[in-house]
Amino acid sequence: MRSLLHQPAILRIALPVHSVILRTMATASSSSSSLLFPSVSLNKLSSSRNASSLGFSVTRSRVSMSLSTESQTAINDSLFAHYKPSSAFLFPGQGAQAIGMGKEAQSVAAAADLYTKANHILGYDLLDICVNGPKEKLDSTVISQPAIYVTSLAAVELLRVREGGEQIINSVDVTCGLSLGEYTALAFAGAFSFEDGLKLVKLRGEAMQAAADAAKSAMVSIIGLDSEKVQQLCDAANQEVDEADKVQIANYLCPGNYAVSGGLKGIEVVEAKAKSFKARMTVRLAVAGAFHTSFMEPAVSRLEAALAATEIRSPRIPVISNVDAQPHADPDTIKKILARQVTSPVQWETTVKTLLSKGLKSSYELGPGKVIAGIFKRVDKSASVENISA
């Protein structure tokens, strides 16, 4: 029997995940949370390298080449370790997409230009799908990820032309994004270009889709338990299933709301046992694949190769990683983190709590939906997050 580490998953259509989770919050009672934070050894995160990481071609501009060379210089990864956030840009992940997004962006030339560039990179009319659908197409992993990335960065351009918008953008001293949104945050922070980021996001969606084709797996949201209880529930379920069907916490979203992923049989056992662990309710998520678990392992090598060939620089401001809830400055470390992100639990709850405990004063959610604003409110009712849509 293959171990969980190497077990691929099946993913038919990735429908809204985080939005589905969030919609269940209103029915769940508040509960204290004790995070089970997995240790992550960056030294063990593998990353492919090749000569292309020194520069895409000899025809690149002198500035581009100098930046690429700089990315190979040793950089202290703990450069942002003692960051003190005051203003944050927050970028949504898959599940925030909705028909009609991107339409408002067409009123601003710089924002509209992003969709034009995206069409050339993707090979299809992204804006048309964003505005007109069909919904099933927009919700698919390979479309929704580029769509949210582009629309979120278009929202930055809409904010820029607003009165006082440029001042807000310049005041941002930390950024992060939920899963996919980490790529958007890195692009905003200058770690890579819009174009290179979109190419990575395109490949990420395709790799996750492909990685999900060989095993039956699922995700379920557990409402009303703290993370310790959810872990105990997973442990109990794992005692009753084979290795290939084992489950784990995949998303530490916010207090009382955690997503569990794994083999289909394991998920069914979790659902059957949840009530005996005093869970308020369970919600089977509208996906057929186990995101952010080892079921996505087949996608890692493709991401490693793409990241190795991509010019990544040290971000100009801290970008908080989903893998360990820490900012990283070293480009090579960022590449390793991004490659492993698809198989690692999302540490969003820790990210939000850390930002708030460090004194974060103002936050802006840029892109479709208001999922992140809802999560912040769940962690701290007094938290204020302004949504900038496009």
Residue 179 appears among annotated catalytic residues:
yes
Under the phi-then-psi rule, with left for phi > 0, alpha for psi from -120 to 50, and beta for the rest, what region is 230?
alpha
- pLDDT of residue 310 exceeding 90: yes
Contact between 91 and 368 under an 8 Å Cβ cutoff? The reply is: no
Contact between 327 and 40 under an 8 Å Cβ cutoff? The reply is: no
- Helices and strands counted in the chain (H then E): 15, 9
- pLDDT of residue 345 exceeding 60: yes
**DSSP per position, 115-144:** HHHHHHHHSS-HHHHHHH--HHHHHSHHHH
The amino acid sitting at 231 is Q
pLDDT, one tens digit per residue, over 95-109 is: 899 999 999 999 999
Alpha-carbon distance 70 to 61, whole Å? 14
Lowest mean pLDDT among 40-44, 231-235, 329-333: 40-44
Q: Show the tokens assigned to 14.
A: 């990735």
- Between CA 332 and CA 340, with CA 334 as vertex, the angle to 5 degrees is 105
- pLDDT of residue 227 exceeding 80: yes
- pLDDT of residue 289 exceeding 90: no
Catalytic residue among 47, 53, 217, 292: 292
Catalytic residue among 179, 221, 227, 294: 179
Q: What percent of the chain has pLDDT over 70?
A: 80
Per-residue pLDDT averaged across 115-119, rounded? 98
Report pLDDT for 228: 97
Contact between 337 and 42 under an 8 Å Cβ cutoff? The reply is: yes
pLDDT, one tens digit per residue, over 155-207 is: 999 999 999 999 999 999 999 999 999 999 999 999 999 999 999 999 999 99
| CB burial string 236-272: b at 16+ within 10 A, e below | ebbeebeebbbbbbbbbbbbbbbbbbbbbbbbbbbbe
Report pLDDT for 188: 98
Alpha-carbon distance 33 to 255, whole Å? 5
Residue 328 appears among annotated catalytic residues:
no
| CB burial string 309-324: b at 16+ within 10 A, e below | bbbbbbbebbbbbbbb
Contact between 148 and 97 under an 8 Å Cβ cutoff? The reply is: yes
pLDDT, one tens digit per residue, over 69-83 is: 344 457 899 999 999
For residue 285, how many other CB atoms are within 10 A of its CB?
Answer: 27
Average pLDDT for the chain: 85
- pLDDT of residue 304 exceeding 90: yes
- pLDDT of residue 298 exceeding 70: yes
For residue 164, how many other CB atoms are within 10 A of its CB?
Answer: 9
